[in-house]
Amino acid sequence: MAIEESAARLDAIMLTRGAAARAAENALVERGLGMSEAAVCERWLAELGKNSAIEPCGWYAPPPHGMSVLVGDPPDFRRTTFASLREVSHWPRSEALVDEESLLFLYCSPVHRSSGMIGDFQMSLYGGSSSAVRRHIAATLDVTVKTVEYAAVGMEFAELYDYADRQMRCQSVRNDTNSTTDVSGQQNIGHTVPWFESGAPTDLLQALAERDHGKIAAGLSPARTFITGRQRARIGRDSSFTVEPQVTSESGILATFHFIVTFCRGDKVVLAGFSNLFATFGMTEFLEAESMDAVRAYDSRVLRYS
């Protein structure tokens, strides 16, 4: 791969991820208080649609528009604990309203129109007072950042998975990430960004030009390699993948933070886009300082691309 090609694809991922993060910030003015899952989703989609460089209706569908907003309420926050967003029961609803103690889950899957690169965005948000939820969210961010930092060129994806698993065991939490499209049936902590190394095929680019969402999904979803405990593929000098474990506490609370890790001629770039939303929800007061420092460093790149 030419240096210019990998750099251009990285730029496309950064632009798309940055746009998704900024759109989420704009959709959650005043933390979305009083809004329904469906209303937040609609506002987020509208904000994404303001950027002509990306396809706002995401590749991961169902759920509708390739995006989801879920509102979990105390005491068990059951709504934000899920096996798959594809299940109709976990599509955004009009009757689930955000309040001061809500645990929010956000996900969208926009695609860069001219390159076919994805810029998925996913995170948990909490501005409530439960110490148990706060501790779990802090632990989730901690283990995910440590996993992101551990990733290196030449490493097998299985090694990265095993490292994440050890970090979770140290925190007495577990990974509950599964994909209904992975025929192996194994748990994973993320997947490769489709077509980063080779470039998107013509039929995918044509589907993006025509806004054929069925063909967009068909061109991207099967092209992923999942990061599992058995995946022997190695991280290349030009490669891109997600790290997004869905981490469950002993009491059943699920939290998640989605990072995109890209190596461009061996140089490592990590994309998040969480800093401003952490501030909006007052999460900086309970997240680990080391994790926050890492996220701010990542965001110094991605948020300026939005």
Q: What is the pLDDT of residues 125-179, one digit of tens each?
A: 999 999 999 999 999 999 999 999 999 999 999 999 999 999 999 999 999 877 6
pLDDT band at 305 (very low <50, low <70, confident <90, very high): low
List the beta bridge partners of residue 136.
none
CATH of 3-305, one of 1.10.1200.10, 1.20.1250.20, 1.10.150.120, 3.90.230.10: 3.90.230.10
Domain boundaries, the chain: 3-305
Q: Is 241 helix (H, G, I), strand (E, B) or coil?
A: strand
As a whole number, mean pLDDT of residues 208-214 equals 98
pLDDT band at 96 (very low <50, low <70, confident <90, very high): confident
> Residue 236 and residue 192: Cα distance in Å, rounded?
11
> Residue 296 and residue 290: Cα distance in Å, rounded?
10
Average pLDDT, whole number, for the chain? 95
As a whole number, mean pLDDT of residues 238-248 equals 98
**Global pTM exceeds 0.85:** yes
Cβ(36)–Cβ(95) under 8 Å? yes
* Tens-place pLDDT, residues 46-94: 999 999 999 999 999 999 999 999 999 999 999 999 989 999 999 999 9
> What is the model's pLDDT at position 180?
61
Q: Exposed e or buried b for every residue in 285-306, given b needs 16+ CB within 10 A? A: eebeeebbebbeebbebbbebb
Q: Exposed e or buried b for every residue in 143-180, given b needs 16+ CB within 10 A? A: bbbbbbeebeeeeebbbbbebbbebbeebebebbbebe
